[in-house]
Amino acid sequence: MESAKAQEMLAQLGEGWRLTHDGTRLERGYAFKNFAQSLAFANKVGEVAEKEGHHPDLHVRWGMCTVEIWTHKINGLTESDFFMAAKADRAYEASAGP
């Protein structure tokens, strides 16, 4: 995906999403009150990922879950990555996040 298109689509996502330094991945950290909530959120995103057949990297730690999304097959971004990001945002809104 060209940089201009990625920036355009990024602007349509919720706050907190960013492109990595090389522009090939989307990333957002979600804050939680504890480890259990972070893990529960990661499991929700995992369920969505399984349904979609689109699997982000999930980095879980106490009070935070970072979601990193890209299309592995091309080692870059496609529109489906941005759709997955929006679905992660919806999972967060439905979770026990602050």
More confident residue, 3 or 48: 48
Please list, in sequence order, all residues whose beta carbon lies within 8 angstroms of the beta carbon of residue 66, skipping any fewer than 6 positions away.
27, 28, 29, 30, 58, 59
> What's the whole-number average pLDDT of the chain?
91
N residues, the chain: 98
Helices (H), the chain: 3-10, 35-52, 79-93
Report pLDDT for 2. 82
pLDDT tens readout for residues 31-75:
999 999 999 999 999 999 999 989 999 999 999 999 999 998 888
Residue 29's pLDDT band, with cuts at 50, 70 and 90, is very high
Report pLDDT for 14. 82
Please determine, looking at this structure, whether the domain spanning 3-93 carries the CATH number 3.30.1360.20.
yes
Phi, psi of 6 (to 5 degrees): -65, -40
- Does the pLDDT at position 1 exceed 80? no
What is the domain partition of the chain in residue ranges? 3-93
For residues 22 and 53, give the distance between their C-alpha atoms in angstroms, rounded to a whole number: 25
pTM (two decimals): 0.89
- Contact yes or no for 67/31 (Cβ under 8 A): no
Report pLDDT for 6. 85
